[in-house]
Every structure is written in structure tokens, then in C-alpha cells.
Amino acid sequence: MRHFAVVGSGPAGFYTAEALAKAYGEAARMDIIDRYPVPYGLIRFGVAPDHQSLKAVSKRYDKVAETAGVGFIGNVCVGADVSVEELMEHYDAVILAIGAPHDRKLGIPGEDLPGVIGSAQFVGWYNGHPDFADLGPPLDGTHAAIIGNGNVALDCARILSKTRAEFDGSDIVGHALDALDNSAIKTITVLGRRGPLQIAMTPKELGELAHLEAALPLVDLNDFPPVEADDGLDPGQRKSVTILRDFANIRANRPKAMVFDFFAKPLAIEGDGRAERLIVERTELDEKGAARGTGETYEVPASLIVSCIGYSTPSIAGVPYDERAGKFLNEAGRIADRLYCVGWARRGPTGTIGTNRPDGYEVAEAVAAAMPAGSSGDRAGGEGLKALLGERGIGATDFTDWRRIERAEEAAARSGSPREKMVRVEEWLQALGR
Ligand code: NAP
């Protein structure tokens, strides 16, 4: 019997466990370990609450968790409660699937002022991440700014602009829904340091903006090159740019505005004890297509600033780490003998949920090639890990516990919502009678 530990229960972790289960059948057992008592990582804490169809992929992960030989060990933080070295004593291989939960810094003056938050914090707050339950983003001003031109920026701008009714059917947490309902924000400026043809936003996500109830997406056609320039784009990007251009033709009166400000590079954030304005430099594209400052600066008022400029993977003691890229040092997912990584911890923070499937299968294949089915000598696998955790007084959760928490969340749901998420570790443990 082989024993594998997959650290992280987001998409990358589940696809890897699925692939290992297929590769080894009954000849292996694997445990998906998570620092929280509940599984799904990015699906639960990252995917927007009004994108329930994307979240439905967790049903597939449920099936993986119910596969014979696959276990869930929640409420265990690798690197704090147990080291990677200890895991490697108990398991034949350890696969790190811990994602990229940390915000990249802007690196500009004023970014530590109250009112400036990273997208991991903001998204975590409205999605019920326990670390951000008390974030309390300032929604008392009339202007907000979103920095970045990716899909996360779109998520944040859309969530800020929706009405209460538009969250029907979502699983946005109650504290965020109430706060957003009382928000004074009327103008949301979305800043891209490059131009409209360089956005990293996908057509479906952009298209939603045209139909918002209260917010009108606004673009300045002077920012766009002649329409023929779109011919050189790949089909997906061309579709996105067409949708952007078409925003200029929407004839509607809506009380809020989502203003796309292109060629806009943040230089500093200023304010009296809290964020009040963003100092921005107008840019142009250089020969390589990068943003080059023109020296012209202007101010964008904003008492809430959300930077959506990418993420990094936290380092773990003893695991080689690439500081510049913010991910584990690896070659095709292999970090060292018996130690692997998958997903954003392997590739960096790009790609959709589905990208993690081939990624997980590729690494599982590499594991299977290096370690054919057979005996793992005296490695004790999950039983050994649980004994160690017991000695340390750490109460791990399993998949049955998760089911109980899920049922409690479903029972607490307000009307029109699939669940009311618990947002603190203590709440989860309480639901389990611990
Ligand atoms: P992203 O797609 O890499 O976009 C990051 C954005 O930040 C880019 O526009 C980038 O501009 C900008 N940026 C980076 N550093 C900056 C700086 N110092 N100053 C100003 N702007 C800066 O990342 P993301 O939005 O975090 O998304 C991560 C991944 O998740 C993506 O693959 C995304 O598609 C995916 N995702 C998908 C969905 C969905 O399918 N619904 C939802 C959310 C996220 P440059 O291009 O100039 O570098």
C-alpha cells in the first residue's frame, strides 16, 4: 500500500487526489489535508458568490472525497501544526496544493493606509474566509478604485456595484451583504496600467456588466485604437475588446458608474490618516507592449482601494521557494524526491479552475512513474499522522464532519440563498459540538 498526502483542498488538490486514485486504484490511500475544517479552498473562498455555476464543481470533488482510499483531514495547518518533514515520514509522497492566497504588494507609497486592501482580503471578506471576517472595508465614501485589469478586478468591481436583489441565489455571507446594501459608493474606477487591448478579462465575465441593475460600465473610446487593430487579437481577446467597445453604446440611466480608466499607473495613495485619493500617471505602450509613464499625473478620488494585481504562495519551512515568482521552486511539479507541487503553488496565479485538472493529472502521473504500486515499508500514512496530531491536541475534521457543517449552513440559509456560510473556525467547531 502507498500513502500520499495532498496538502490543500482546492481544485488543484482535488484533481490531484482524483488522478492518484485513478492511477493506483486500491493500491494507495491518500489524505487531502487542509488548514480549515471545511474543504474546497478557492471554490469556497475565492470564486465569486454570484457565480454559483462555477462553485458547482465542488460536487465533483465530493465524489472524489467519497472514493475509497481518499480521506479529508481538516483543521490542520502544515508548516505550523505539522511540518512537511513529518508528513514525509508518514507518507510516500507529499503534494503541495496550497494555492496562492497572499496578495502581491503594489510597492507604492501610501499602500498601508486604512482603506487600501488586497483582493484576497476583500474577496475573502465577502466569501466568508475566517481570516477576513472582521475586515470591515470602508464603504462610507462615494468613490472606490480597483487596481488591475484581470478577472479578479472584475469580480471586485461587480460585487461593489450590485444591488441586494442581484445577490439572490448567491452565497455571499450575511455580513457582506448587509454592508454592501448600505454602501455609499457610487463611482467605481477600474484602473489598468495598459490599454483596452491588453486586458486580462474574459468575455463572459465582462459581458455581465452590460446587464447590471444599478451600475453603468463606462469606457472612453479615445483610449481605443481603430477597430481594425482588434483583427490581430486572438478570438477570445477580440470578443472581450468588442464587449468593452460596446459599453460605449449602452443607453441607460443607472445610479452608479463603473469607469474603465486605461493607461493609468498608480504612483501613490494619499489621504489624511486613511486613503482619500490615488495619484496616477498616464502611460503609453512601449515597443515591447509594456506600460511606460508619460509624466502626466492626475488624481482619482477613492476612500476604498482594492488592488487586484495577483497573488503569491506562502513559503513553508524546508521547501525550496522562488521569491521572485512567489511559488515553490519546481521542475514540472517536482520539488525534490517525494515532494511535489500542483496548481498555483506550482505555476503561479494564472488560469481557470479547469486548468488545474491537467496539471494535477500530470503531477500524479509523475508520482506514479517514480513510485509504482507496491509496499511503502513502514510508513503509517493517515493513521500515523492522526496519532501525531492527537498527541499535539489538534482535533482534525473529516469529510463526515464537513457534511454536518454543510447541512448546518444549508439549514441557516436566508431565502434565495443556498447556504449561510459560517465565517469563523470556532463556529465550524461549535457546529460539530467541539
Ligand atoms: P491576472 O489575470 O493576472 O490580472 C492581473 C492584472 O493586474 C493585470 O491586468 C495586470 O496588468 C495588473 N497588474 C499587475 N501588477 C500591477 C501593478 N503593479 N500595477 C497595476 N496593475 C498591475 O490576475 P487575476 O485577476 O488575479 O486572476 C488570476 C487568475 O484567476 C486569472 O487566470 C483569471 O482569469 C482567473 N480568474 C478567473 C475568474 C473567472 O473565470 N470567472 C474569476 C477570477 C479569476 P498587466 O497585464 O499590465 O501585467
Quote the pLDDT of residue 156: 98
Query: Can you name the residues that pair with 397 across neighbouring β-strands?
Result: 74
Query: What span, in angstroms and rounded, lies between the C-alpha atoms of 190 and 256?
Result: 13
All cell numbers assigned to 320: 525550496
User: Is the pLDDT confidence value at 377 over 90?
Assistant: no
Quote the pLDDT of residue 201: 98
| DSSP letter for each residue of 62-127 | HHHHTSTTEEEEBS--BTTTB-HHHHHHHSSEEEE-----EEPP--STTTTSTTEEEHHHHHHHHT
The Å distance, Cα 147 to ligand 1 centre, comes to 10
Q: Are 58 and 34 in contact (CB under 8 A)?
A: no
- Which residue has its alpha carbon closest to ligand 1 atom 21? 148
**Amino acid identity of 29?**
R
Quote the pLDDT of residue 378: 75
Query: What span, in angstroms and rounded, lies between the C-alpha atoms of 190 and 173?
Result: 24
- Which residue has its alpha carbon closest to ligand 1 atom 31? 350
Q: How much is the average pLDDT of 353-377? A: 92
The Å distance, Cα 309 to ligand 1 centre, comes to 5
First to last CA, the chain: 33
Query: What span, in angstroms and rounded, lies between the C-alpha atoms of 434 and 428?
Result: 9
Quote the pLDDT of residue 373: 85
The Å distance, Cα 224 to ligand 1 centre, comes to 20
User: Is the pLDDT confidence value at 376 over 90?
Assistant: no
Q: How many CB atoms lie within 10 A of CB 154?
A: 24
Q: Are 78 and 32 in contact (CB under 8 A)?
A: no
Query: What span, in angstroms and rounded, lies between the C-alpha atoms of 123 and 273?
Result: 24
**Residues in the chain, overall count:** 434
User: Is the pLDDT confidence value at 375 over 80?
Assistant: no
Q: How much is the average pLDDT of 267-278? A: 98
CA neighbor of 27 nearest in space, from 367, 333, 397, 362 = 367
All cell numbers assigned to 243: 464587449
All cell numbers assigned to 92: 510516500
CA count, 13 A, side-chain hemisphere, 296: 6
Express each pLDDT in 388-406 by its tens digit. 999 999 999 999 999 999 9
Confidence band, pLDDT 50/70/90 cuts, at residue 412: very high
Give me the percent of the chain exceeding a pLDDT of 70: 100
Quote the pLDDT of residue 374: 82
Task: Mark 299-314 as b/e (b = at least 16 C-beta within 10 Å).
Answer: ebbbbbbbbbbbbbbe
Contacts of 385 (CB under 8 A, 6+ apart): 5, 31, 33, 73, 82, 86, 87, 90, 91
Which atom of ligand 1 approaches the CA of 54 most closely?
41
Express each pLDDT in 51-83 by its tens digit. 999 999 999 999 999 898 999 999 999 999 999
Express each pLDDT in 148-198 by its tens digit. 999 999 999 999 999 999 999 999 999 999 999 999 999 999 999 999 999
Quote the pLDDT of residue 289: 96
